[in-house]
Structures are given as C-alpha cells and as structure tokens.
Amino acid sequence: MVAITPLPKAPDIVLGVVNIQGRLIAVINMRRRFCLPEREIILTDQLVVAHTARRPVALVADAVLGVIACSAQELIAAEHIVPGVEYVAGVIKLEDGLILIHDLDKFLSLEEEDLLDHALENGALEVS
C-alpha cells in the first residue's frame, strides 16, 4: 500500500488518488462499492491497477492471491447464472471454485464519472 491523497468532491467510493508514473489514478473503495463492512486500510493491502473505457483506476484489495489467464470461451455470462447481478459480467469455473468477472465500466455511474472528472480537474493542482 502507498499513501492515498484525498480528492475533495470526488464520489463517495473514491478514496483519493495515487501518483503512478506521473499520472493521477483514482483509488476505488471496493468494500464501499459492494456494500461490505468498512475497515481501515493497512500496510499489507494491495492496489490493483485496472482500466475502464474512460480511465485507469486503482482497486483496493485486502489481498491478491494470484493472476490467471483465461479465454473468452471459458467465461459464462452472468445473466445465464444469476440474472440482474450488478457489476458482474460473467463467471469462470475453476476446479476449486468460481471467479466473478466484474465489469469495471459499470463500477462508476455516469454521475460518479462526472463528479470524478470534475474533482480530478479541480484537484489535480493540489495533489501534484
């Protein structure tokens, strides 16, 4: 974990920003997005950098257990398993469990995207 700089007027699920190679990246609170119990961020937490259609984001994770590669053929569309599941694009079956594939483009609503854009534009000078 690295220090996260607060970003005034950002959406509630945005904890702030981090500077990665000179670029400000919004840090998303995954617990808040999924309505999970909140907890303090600790030194061993991880940031997973991912890309939406509009921007890179850093997702706070309690732990990262590994990375797997899979083909599109292995992905089962979420509506075939549990219709109406918000943020989930599909599921991948493993021998020892399931992996939910989240649609990052749905993590931020249009209103949250606009708030984040505005906050980044106005706060970029303060956090640089």
* pLDDT of amino acid 13: 86
pLDDT at 125 over 70: no
What average pLDDT does the chain have? 82
Residues 1-12 have a mean pLDDT of 88
- Domain boundaries defined on the chain: 14-127
- Sheet strands side by side (includes 75-77): 75-77, 88-94, 97-102
Q: What is the CATH number of domain 14-127?
A: 2.40.50.180
Burial class (CB in 10 A: 0-12, 13-18, 19+), 73: exposed
Per residue in 11-42, pLDDT (tens digit) is 888 999 999 888 889 999 888 888 889 898 88
